[in-house]
Amino acid sequence: ERERLARLRFTPSLTMDGQRVELLANIEQPSDGAAAVRAGAVGVGLFRTEFLFMGRSGNLPGEEEQYRAYCEVISSMHGMPVTIRTLDVGADKPLDKAQPKDYYLNPALGLRAIRWSLADPVMFRTQLRAILRAAVHGPVKLLFPMLAHRSEIEQTLAQLRQAQAELDMRGLVYGKVKLGAMIEIPAAALTVRSFLKYFDFLSIGTNDLIQYTLAIDRADEAVAHLYDPMHPAVLRLVAEVIAAANAAGKEVCVCGEMAGDLSMTRLLLGLGLRSFSMHPAQILAVKQEILRADSCKLAPWANEVLDSDTPAQMMLP
């Protein structure tokens, strides 16, 4: 089976009715780029930069170290797009493992991701400058995690402008980047139209979207059986975001675990998704599902699934 999948590496990712589907890799280390290319990814859909920052007991990577890390990924992707997400520490990704998790009242609802970055603008702009400078060397898409409020969007974009001004002042060159928002808080999914006004692309983080929609801690074993990607509330939010982005002619990707879950591939295709980002190990298996799928038949079926209370697995087309 593995050999059969390996042969699909250079097969274009098209549905039976000829719809092109983009398969991207999620990576956590700069050196993961090579594995993404080997797996047949056509770009990096999510570079989780927090892994550069974690486990260093407070000594954070500076602009030059980050710049080199981002350049390494960009060069390993040979001109394919690289989506770099700004820091997402806090909650399930503690900056310092020595810090007890219960130090925070409720880490998943607390200071994490963009909230953390906006609370430490000097650190945030250091990362932004490193990413902007690296973008000279290849196509970079800049992605912000956990946005929910318009004020956060505006502050984030203001920090970006300030980072650019700082580079101008130092006479350093930097590249043009596309701007994207993670949609991973139900409030963001429900107000997706305002995100579309500010951003070039959206990336749906289903890991957190499920956690916050169902009030299930994604890391808590005691409630893991209730962590259900097929819950109708989750599916409706995912469907609305995809539909809104498609209607606005903007790119939308799913980069949570759902994108690499073979039992979800056809449903996501039916909902109109044409870009999936996942662990490189999943890419060829998902491609096989896509090659066997007929998106014309899947669309009406996906709409039935959305309107029904019957679990999607029981309604296969």
181's tokens: 């928002």
Which range touches ligand PEP (CB under 6 A), out of 117-125, 199-207, 266-274, 297-305?
199-207
Q: Is 133 in the site for ligand PEP (CB under 6 A)?
A: no
In the bound state with ligand PEP, the residue whose beta carbon lies nearer, of 174 and 229, is: 229
The only residue of 184, 199, 234, 283 in contact with ligand PEP, by rule CB under 6 A:
184
Which of 154, 126, 129, 131 lies closest to 142, judged by CA?
131
The only residue of 207, 228, 291, 299 in contact with ligand PEP, by rule CB under 6 A:
207
Q: Is 261 in the site for ligand PEP (CB under 6 A)?
A: no
Q: Is 152 in the site for Mg ion (CB under 5 A)?
A: no
Q: Is 72 in the site for Mg ion (CB under 5 A)?
A: no
In the bound state with Mg ion, the residue whose beta carbon lies nearer, of 205 and 270, is: 205
The only residue of 32, 208, 251, 261 in contact with ligand PEP, by rule CB under 6 A:
208
Residues 203-222 that bind Mg ion (CB under 5 A): 205, 208
For residue 53, what are the CA distances in angstroms to 30, 34, 82, 206? 12, 21, 19, 23
Sign of the CA dihedral with 235 first, then 240, 243, and 248 last: negative
Least separation in angstroms between residue 93's CB and ligand PEP is: 7
In the bound state with Mg ion, the residue whose beta carbon lies nearer, of 50 and 208, is: 208
d(CA 202, CA 192): 9
Q: Is 260 in the site for ligand PEP (CB under 6 A)?
A: no
Which of 46, 36, 42 lies closest to 21, judged by CA?
42
Least separation in angstroms between residue 51's CB and ligand PEP is: 10
Q: Is 257 in the site for Mg ion (CB under 5 A)?
A: no
Q: Is 184 in the site for Mg ion (CB under 5 A)?
A: yes
Q: Is 32 in the site for ligand PEP (CB under 6 A)?
A: no
Least separation in angstroms between residue 49's CB and ligand PEP is: 10
In the bound state with ligand PEP, the residue whose beta carbon lies nearer, of 167 and 264, is: 264
d(CA 142, CA 114): 13
The only residue of 36, 48, 125, 261 in contact with ligand PEP, by rule CB under 6 A:
48
Where does this chain bind ligand PEP (CB under 6 A)?
A: 46, 48, 88, 184, 205-208, 255-256
Where does this chain bind Mg ion (CB under 5 A)?
A: 184, 205, 208
